[in-house]
Every structure is written in structure tokens, then in C-alpha cells.
Amino acid sequence: MRAGPPELKDRSSNSSAKCLPLAARLLGRASRGRAGLCACHAVRVPCVTSVEGLLRAAGGFVVAGVDLAAGSAAAAAAQQSVDDSGLLLLGEMHGARENPLLARALMRAFGITRLALAWDEDLAPVIEAFLATGTLAGRWLLWSGDGRITAGRLAVLAELATAGALEVILFDGAVGAEWDWPDRDKATAGRLLAAAPAPARTVVVAGHAHTPTRPTQLGIPMGAWLHRQRPGVREVGTDYGSGRYCNTQPRRFTHPGLRPRRIQLRRDHSLPVPGLPTAEEAIVPHRSGGWPPPAPRTP
């Protein structure tokens, strides 16, 4: 079993911003006007309502290397999760601009090229085509506005694919009419386990409520179902200090304790926890009036 290095940093950009390699292609395909943008709140942080606007926002997102410092204990705990289970669970609050950069930093720090996202599995061909060609089909699943899908996430996926081998797994899916919350999480865990065999090394990104590896007040989350099959799996839950995020509507972080002073991977009750001092709203694709679309009527 390998232990993590005493200090782990993603220095891929040498502290300078690295522009998205597909930015030129994306910008070339997207309109340069302001159509497709809407104001999320009074200070006019934008969401996007069109494919053109989403591509333009992705092309303008700057992919910068996060200086993710880690103590030896936190790095060793994260490395042990990857070695023992093939998985590292990253819990996030959807809709923060920095989320995809944290996932990218963890992937680069631990040499991982597989990324699993809690996006509907029916979007797999859409994302595959986007990474291959820079085009994006306007499927209705893109527009929920819950912050899982963001312009920055698309930009980071494009950057990772251009930089080398990348495998993307989408593991959300259909929900049964009689399912409760634990049933849904059990199903998502099953889809993830089928797509990410133990020898593979995968960073798994999901909402904070779904990544704990023990039962919670909501029931048995995805992480706990995964832990039953892969006992070594660990959760990395992001600790947001302050700032904003966009999850169906603009929201603000309120931190009850001391705020992290820098982006760092620390160990808290045996779990590695990345601390993010300040978060900004992500640019989120959202069509408030038409999601989900009405079911087709039978003649």
C-alpha cells in the first residue's frame, strides 16, 4: 500500500492561468452576442439558456492549476482509498465555480484519469461528442439548473481530454415511481460499481448528501452503499469557507466555524477534507420555465 507524499500539490500551471485548449473552437461555433444569457440575481451573475451561450461560457472559462497543499496524513488517507477501493469520493455543493478545478487537482495529484459525475447516463453520447468535436447537442437534461452541470465543468473536461487519456462515467439515471431517497442512492451506487471496476482508479463527484460512507439522517447514501462493496472507500467532503453558489437559484455559504485560509487537503476525523476559502457562483445552464419537459401525450 502506497502512502501519499508529505506535501501534495497540483502545480500543473506553475501558478499561471492555463486557457482551455478547445476555447478557440468553442468560441468559433458560438455566437458572440449576448443572446442566451439570463441574470441569476441583482448583480447579474449569468446563467445560460442556450447551447450557444453555454459553449461561449465554457470557452471563456480559464482552467487554472489549483495549488492544493496536503499534509502527509490527508494525502495518505486519500491514496489509501484509491488503492483499496479504486474510488475517491468528492462531495461538493453543486453550483460553485471552483468545484471542477478541485476535482481536476485531485485527479492530477493522484495520477487518475477516470472521472465519474452524477449526471444522467443518457447524456453520455452528448458529452462524448462534445469532447471529440466541441459541439453540444441541446438535450433537455442539460437545463435543470441544479449546479451539477456548469460551463466550468465542461471546460475542465475538454482540457483533461486534450491533455491526455480521459474516461468520463455518468452514473445518474431513471428513478422508479415508488423509490425513496435511499433506493435512488442504491441504484446510483450500482451503476457506478458496474462502470468502475476495482482495479480502475476513479474520482467520483457527487453532492455532499450522497458521498458519506455511513448512514445519515436521510437514510443510506450512495457512499455507504459503495462502502458495503468496497470497504476501503473514503469520502473527500469539500469545506466551503464563504462565498456564493448557484443551485436552481443564487445561494450563499454560511460557515459556522473557522474558515480555511487556503485551498488545502487536511485530515478531519480520519477523512481527507479539501478546504476552499471563498467560492464564486458557477455559470449554470438553466431554463426555469421548461424543466423537466412535460411527458408526451399519447394520442
Residue range 68-97, pLDDT digits in tens = 766 677 788 889 999 999 999 999 999 999
* Overall average pLDDT of the 56-78 stretch: 83
Spell out where the chain has E strands.
17-19, 37-39, 46-48, 62-64, 69-70, 87-92, 114-120, 167-172, 202-207, 235-237, 239-246, 250-252, 264-268, 271-279
Predicted confidence at residue 109, as pLDDT, reads: 87
pLDDT at 21 over 50: no
Reported as a pLDDT band with limits 50, 70 and 90, residue 188 is very high
Tell me, what DSSP letter sits at residue 167? E
pLDDT at 28 over 50: no
pLDDT at 245 over 50: yes
Reported as a pLDDT band with limits 50, 70 and 90, residue 42 is very low
Residue 142 contacts residue 149 (beta carbons within 8 Å) = yes
Predicted confidence at residue 192, as pLDDT, reads: 97
Predicted confidence at residue 255, as pLDDT, reads: 62
Q: How many Cα atoms sit within 13 Å of 86 on the Cβ side?
A: 15
SS3 of the chain: helix, strand, coil, percent, to 5: 35, 25, 40
Residue 67 contacts residue 160 (beta carbons within 8 Å) = no
Q: How many Cα atoms sit within 13 Å of 297 on the Cβ side?
A: 1
Predicted confidence at residue 289, as pLDDT, reads: 64
* Overall average pLDDT of the 269-276 stretch: 56
Q: Tell me the domains of the chain and their CATH numbers.
A: 20-279 (3.40.50)
Predicted confidence at residue 129, as pLDDT, reads: 96
Predicted confidence at residue 295, as pLDDT, reads: 59
Q: Which range is least confidently modeled, 46-50, 126-130, 160-164, 207-211?
A: 46-50
Residue 188 contacts residue 196 (beta carbons within 8 Å) = no
Q: Which three cell numbers stand for residue 120?
A: 444522467
Residue 231 contacts residue 84 (beta carbons within 8 Å) = yes
Q: Which range is least confidently modeled, 21-25, 94-98, 160-164?
A: 21-25
Residue with cell 475517491: 88
Higher pLDDT, 29 or 217: 217
CA angle 37, 60, 284 (to 5 degrees): 45
Predicted confidence at residue 122, as pLDDT, reads: 96
CA distances from 179 to 84, 118, 121, 174, 198 (A): 31, 18, 18, 10, 28
> What sign results for the dihedral spanned by CA atoms 69, 148, 206, 216?
positive
The closest alpha carbon to 211, from 224, 202, 200, belongs to 224
Predicted confidence at residue 248, as pLDDT, reads: 82
Predicted confidence at residue 154, as pLDDT, reads: 98
Predicted confidence at residue 35, as pLDDT, reads: 44
Higher pLDDT, 88 or 174: 88
Query: What order of strands is seen across the sheet that includes strand 167-172?
Result: 167-172, 114-120, 202-207, 87-92, 235-237
pLDDT at 12 over 70: no
Reported as a pLDDT band with limits 50, 70 and 90, residue 270 is very low
Alpha-carbon dihedral of residues 236, 239, 244, 250, nearest 10 degrees? 60
Predicted confidence at residue 84, as pLDDT, reads: 95
Quick one: 74 exposed, middle or buried, by C-beta within 10 A (0-12, 13-18, 19+)?
Answer: buried
Strand 202-207 with 114-120, pairing: parallel
